[in-house]
Amino acid sequence: MALCSRIRSGISVFNKLAFAASQRSTLQRSLIAPSNSLVSRGYANVPGAKEDKVKVPLAMFGGSGNYASALYIAAVKANSVEKVESEILQFVEAVKNSTKVSQFISDLSVKKDIRVKVIEDIAGQSKFSDVTKNFLVLVAENGRLKNIETIAKRYRELAMAYKGEVKAIVTTVIPLPAEEEKALKETLQQMLGTGAKVHLEQKIDPSILGGLVLEFSQKVFDMSIKTRAQQMERLLREPISIADI
């Protein structure tokens, strides 16, 4: 319970900066819309699907974010967000488990037509949906297979948001006991509301010295001893004005 109290009090401080952060994120969102050339490719066009504009639920950064956003739009139009999520993660796992496949997707010297043929064969044997298959072919054509794991991670974040799920990462020096992990999940659930389902992931990082760092909904709440010590050090280094004494 003490852990959850610290989290609530820590977050209340960070929330005072929310307005400024929201202004920055609004500008960022205007700069990172997925490339029209990606979304307009054939894999995003689903026969009989409505042409309603699909809103990407999270701001995605960089090239991998643009690819993930384009895949998300195609999956929503095909009403197959979860199926595509499963397939793209299955492909990434297969790459990890095969040295030959891993080397293949990293080798940019392989000719484009060979890359495409291999990906088409893999997708066909795996019985992937057209959305996933066509997307992987596009990635192969553009020489971006080496980035597929990052693209898959970004897509999974979008799929979770689509399903009303929130991924939270808590970083501590030692693993949280089961009761504290449960209490933390319940606290986050209360903060986010009943409509969201929290997936809590633990990370161990001795360098934070103590306390915790909590990340969720593209926010970071740093309540680590390391950060507190750095803040104290900066305060101590500030010159003292005679007028303040």
Task: List the domain boundaries for the chain.
Answer: 63-161, 164-237
CATH of 63-161, one of 1.10.357.10, 1.10.520.20, 1.10.3210.10, 1.25.40.10: 1.10.520.20
Closest to 60 in 3D by CA, of 129, 135, 152: 152
Q: Which residues lie closer than 8 Å to 138 by C-beta, 6 or more apart?
A: 38, 41, 43
Question: Is the pTM higher than 0.85?
Answer: no
The alpha-helical segments, DSSP class H, found in the chain are 2-14, 18-31, 36-39, 62-77, 81-97, 99-106, 112-125, 130-141, 148-162, 178-192, 225-237
Which CA distances in Å does 55 have to 73, 94, 127, 172, 196? 8, 30, 28, 35, 19
pLDDT tens per residue across all 245 residues of the chain? 555 555 555 555 444 444 434 433 433 343 334 554 555 554 544 445 455 688 998 888 899 999 999 999 999 999 999 999 999 999 999 888 888 888 888 888 888 899 999 999 999 999 999 999 999 999 999 999 999 999 999 999 999 889 888 888 999 999 989 998 888 888 888 887 767 788 888 999 999 999 999 988 778 889 899 998 888 888 888 776 656 55
